[in-house]
Structure 1
Amino acid sequence: MRVPITRGYRFELVKLLSQWRIRLLVAVCWLAPGLFVAAVAQQSTLPTDTLFGRWMHATAWAGPLVVLGFAGSWALPLLVSVVAGDVFAAEDRLGTWRHLLVAVRSPRRIFAAKALAALTVIVALVAGLTASSCVGGLLAVGDHPLVGLDGHQLSSGDAAGKVLLAWACALLPTLALAAIGLLGSVVLGRSPMGLLLPAVVAVAMQLAQALPLPVAVRLALPGYAFTSWNGLFTAPGQLNELFIALAVALIWTAAATFLAYLLFVRRDFTNAHDDGLGRRALGLGLAPLVALLAVTCGIVALAAPSAGSGITQAKVQRATATAFAHLYRLQTAQLHRPAVTEAGLRTTAACDRSGGQVDPTGPGNDWRCVITWHLPGTTAPGTAIYQMNVTSDGRIEADGDGPKEVNGYFLVHTRNGDAPNPLWQFDGNVELLTSSPKG
């Protein structure tokens, strides 16, 4: 009589949770982010080079996004490696496959039980990171509005919902890495490379994302949803990249899991020397994923055409002017000046690279923008200069370069205490797939 999947699932889940390293990871994920957010919120200096890091003194909802940025780059790939990358390989090291097959009598049920148990643990770890960072921020800072990536303010309730949605979106690329971990654990057996495969893939994707790749290639990588959640924090939302990235992550999850399943059920468990190693690992494990990357690149290129890096002068100017106008209104309110509207300001931006000596497209830290706006009742426009870094994923990091009365460093009084001038430094976001009149 075969053991039902539910019983096998419970057995595999107990096996995972009985390991000291899994218990340690659960404890760390449910405690460390909250302690980190609370500690950083009490410091005088903030991680301003991290997205939303400059707002950690202002609202509880900035901390979870800072943790999410770090988790997507490092923590989640490592967690997935420890859980999914070892779930099958552990049986090879211990030599327990025969005992398990005698008890369960179905390789298919064993695969399903192990995959579901690994999924449960990974979801619990992600839930812990989310809950802990949110609670830490609420206790240390409080429930206040959050400034989005285009400078507009999100109410505390809206910010909370989008923070949770951003973490939910990050779960899909995490599952894609988990599926790759399952595949590595099946194909590579007791080799330590199976355990390291999700982390290695994540590092390779980070290196690729740092390069000025075409948009289609960038979106075809299964980890791009770790970045594309940024579009949730603009108005209107920049969701085209996010939807494509989530679809790609789902495709990679399904393909890698199915491939791992096929290889597992076809394995000769009667051969004591068949532990998944051998030259077949390259052909059966790596080649289909390379083919999948090529196919997804083609599909994305056809479904969402965009030339080059997707970063153009018109897009940078539009994003910078929009963020400046929203933040100018915020500064006006904080300084208790007469209220203004974005329409009344008529803000425009003129941006170039290296003083006009470089084609104003693509990422780089040599962007410079001159912002112009008009106050009601005045004839002379105001101007401000920003030195900017535009990253390959479309993030804008703007640093005020005068006049100091507008975008210099000084403190303004808010209801949450003194805070730096919001126009001194700010972040923006370029939607890579959006067409513009000038390209």
Structure 2
Amino acid sequence: MTAVMTRPAAVPVPPAPTVHGLRFELVKLLSQWRIRLMLLGCWVAPALLVAVVSDQSSLPSDTVFGRWMGQSGWAGPLVVLTFCCSWVLPLVTSLVAGDVFAVEDRLGTWRHLLVAVRSPRRIFVSKALAALVVTLVLTIGLALSSVVGGLVAVGDQPLVGLSGQSIASGDAAVAVLLAWGIALVPTLAFAAVGLLGSVLLGRSPMGLLVPAVLALALQLVQMLPLPVAVRVSLPSWAFLAWRGLFTEPTQPGPIVLGVVVSALWAVAATALAYRLFLRRDFTDLAQDGLGRRALAVGVAPLAALLVATVAVITATTDASGSGIDRGKLQTSLATAYAHLYRLQTRELHRPDVTEAQLRTSATCDKGGSLVAASASSGPGTDWRCVVVWHIPGARATGSAIYQLDVTADGRYVADGDGPQEVNGFFQVRTSTGDAPNPLWQFDGSVELISPTSKG
């Protein structure tokens, strides 16, 4: 009689919980010296920068809201936001999301991670969520630090908007926080592109640079005379669209389009990274990422998304040409001048007037008499405008000349060119001392796309 030996049935081991994987990925990220250094810098450097710059006699007037840093504590966070949208936020996404998958290729730890987690899907989710959490913490640090620095150094005074209007401190606080929230959406889009680059390129250093290189390329593209439909379809447009919160009336069209486009890029790039990551063969130890062949798989869908977005915006909005024309510029300039004239009146302790009493209007031309009237559109440094207003209680009218530098994104800088007693000097003399002349030089914004749709 013989005994038959039977093996016990193998009990399947369930994958590790996603929460444990997320905690593990957060520990790995926060243990890196560069992440810790960024955390320290994002939570401390903006406050120090705003406090130091606000106390200087020479302010960054070439930056939006820079000339108001000494007058309102809410201007500093917007100056920091402008700088962060250009360089800091794309760099943050490069160092966090652009390396979250590539680090496993460099260290050769994919096999150990798969054995521990036992689910490629949960590995991807854990890494993506860890990159999202760290990116959020860094961005929130930049916002809160700059706000604290501005309020401590200058105070909670009203802010002058891009239409010359005075924004109460409470409304300014809400608008500043909303502006940072809007900028967070394209930051997530660049983070998603970083995830995609990290999956595609493996241990190659180019995967780490993908978001930063994309941001630099888009900045160069934004300087070109592109049609407004193409400009708004770029994932970086929301980095500029937040300015519409500080105009009167607000400019919701560009803001909504910028947020939607950035969100679409974030979803599309994350979905592509997820799909390509699950298709990777982790049993091949010689495989380093998915290779150059997979670049077309990752780049082509994003290019198709850009083309589709341009087509939809062109078909459903009033987007045409550069979006900058004489009528929009004259209306924006006249509105800003009327508000700033009242601000100057209060500084000089003159009787207050209303915009209705001033009946301000502006006449602009581009390129002088050498350019036809029909060609007065588009960005350029050759805009010349004459502002006319009515003086209450007198038959005479006042006039002032401005040279305008209009950029392709709709921002313009109006530089006063006389008369001297109105906009000819940087400061005006008041009964309490010299004060900044709000009419000497000021920023404005033209709405490139209005919310009115075709048909």
| Alpha-carbon distance in 2 for matches of 1:56, 1:356 | 38
Deviations 1:145-165 (A, max 9, x none): 000000000001110110010
Q: Which structure has the bigger radius of gyration?
A: 2
Deviations 1:53-72 (A, max 9, x none): 00000011000000000000
1:157-172 matches, within 5 Å, as: 157-172=170-185
1:2-13 matches, within 5 Å, as: 2-13=15-26
Q: Which amino acid counterpart does residue 408 of structure 2 have in structure 1?
A: S
Deviation at 1:377, TM superposition (A): 1.2
User: TM-score, normalization: structure 2?
Assistant: 0.94
- Who is 1:275 aligned against? 288
1:29-40 matches, within 5 Å, as: 29-40=42-53
Q: In the alignment, is the contact (CA less than 8 A) between 1:58 and 1:416 conserved in 2?
A: no
- Who is 2:28 aligned against? 15
> Structure 1 residues 2, 414: closer, same or farther in 2, change over 3 A?
farther
Which one of 380, 384, 388 corresponds to residue 368 of structure 1? Answer: 384
Q: In the alignment, is the contact (CA less than 8 A) between 2:317 and 2:451 conserved in 1?
A: no
| Alpha-carbon distance in 2 for matches of 1:233, 1:413 | 28
Q: Which amino acid counterpart does residue 260 of structure 1 have in structure 2?
A: A
Deviation at 1:253, TM superposition (A): 0.3
Deviation at 1:353, TM superposition (A): 1.2
- Who is 2:114 aligned against? 101
| Alpha-carbon distance in 2 for matches of 1:411, 1:78 | 39
Which one of 378, 388, 403 corresponds to residue 404 of structure 2? Answer: 388
| Alpha-carbon distance in 1 for matches of 2:365, 2:433 | 36
- Who is 1:289 aligned against? 302
Deviation at 1:282, TM superposition (A): 2.3
- Who is 1:115 aligned against? 128
Deviations 1:326-378 (A, max 9, x none): 00011011101111000110000000112132321000011010000001111
In structure 1, runs of 5+ residues without a counterpart are none
Which one of 187, 195, 205 corresponds to residue 200 of structure 2? Answer: 187
- Choose 90-99 or 207-216, whichever is displaced more: 207-216
Q: In the alignment, is the contact (CA less than 8 A) between 2:280 and 2:290 conserved in 1?
A: no
- Who is 1:302 aligned against? 315
> Structure 1 residues 417, 247: closer, same or farther in 2, change over 3 A?
farther
Q: Does 1:348 align with 2:361?
A: yes
Q: Which amino acid counterpart does residue 397 of structure 1 have in structure 2?
A: V
What SS does the corresponding residue of 1:396 show, helix, strand or coil?
Answer: strand
What SS does the corresponding residue of 1:419 show, helix, strand or coil?
Answer: strand
RMSD (CA atoms): 1.4
| Alpha-carbon distance in 1 for matches of 2:317, 2:429 | 45
Deviation at 1:176, TM superposition (A): 0.2
User: TM-score, normalization: structure 1?
Assistant: 0.97
| Alpha-carbon distance in 2 for matches of 1:33, 1:249 | 25
Runs of 4+ off more than 6 Å: 413-417
Q: Which amino acid counterpart does residue 409 of structure 2 have in structure 1?
A: D
Q: Which amino acid counterpart does residue 406 of structure 1 have in structure 2?
A: V
Q: Does 1:318 align with 2:318?
A: no
What SS does the corresponding residue of 1:422 show, helix, strand or coil?
Answer: coil
Deviation at 1:32, TM superposition (A): 0.4
Q: Which amino acid counterpart does residue 423 of structure 1 have in structure 2?
A: L
- Who is 1:79 aligned against? 92
- Who is 1:149 aligned against? 162
Q: Does 1:252 align with 2:268?
A: no
What SS does the corresponding residue of 1:399 show, helix, strand or coil?
Answer: strand
> Structure 1 residues 293, 139: closer, same or farther in 2, change over 3 A?
same
- Who is 1:425 aligned against? 441
> What is the aligned length?
436
| Alpha-carbon distance in 2 for matches of 1:302, 1:431 | 18
Q: Which amino acid counterpart does residue 169 of structure 1 have in structure 2?
A: I
Q: In the alignment, is the contact (CA less than 8 A) between 2:50 and 2:76 conserved in 1?
A: yes
Deviations 1:269-293 (A, max 9, x none): 0001222142323211111111111
| Alpha-carbon distance in 2 for matches of 1:136, 1:221 | 32
Deviation at 1:248, TM superposition (A): 0.3
| Alpha-carbon distance in 1 for matches of 2:66, 2:351 | 29
Q: Which amino acid counterpart does residue 326 of structure 1 have in structure 2?
A: H
| Alpha-carbon distance in 2 for matches of 1:279, 1:13 | 29
> Structure 1 residues 360, 29: closer, same or farther in 2, change over 3 A?
same
| Alpha-carbon distance in 1 for matches of 2:306, 2:24 | 35
> Structure 1 residues 179, 410: closer, same or farther in 2, change over 3 A?
closer
Deviation at 1:134, TM superposition (A): 0.5
> Structure 1 residues 322, 103: closer, same or farther in 2, change over 3 A?
same
Deviation at 1:414, TM superposition (A): 8.1
What SS does the corresponding residue of 2:402 show, helix, strand or coil?
Answer: strand
- Choose 296-305 or 11-20, whichever is displaced more: 296-305
> Structure 1 residues 414, 299: closer, same or farther in 2, change over 3 A?
farther
What SS does the corresponding residue of 2:130 show, helix, strand or coil?
Answer: helix
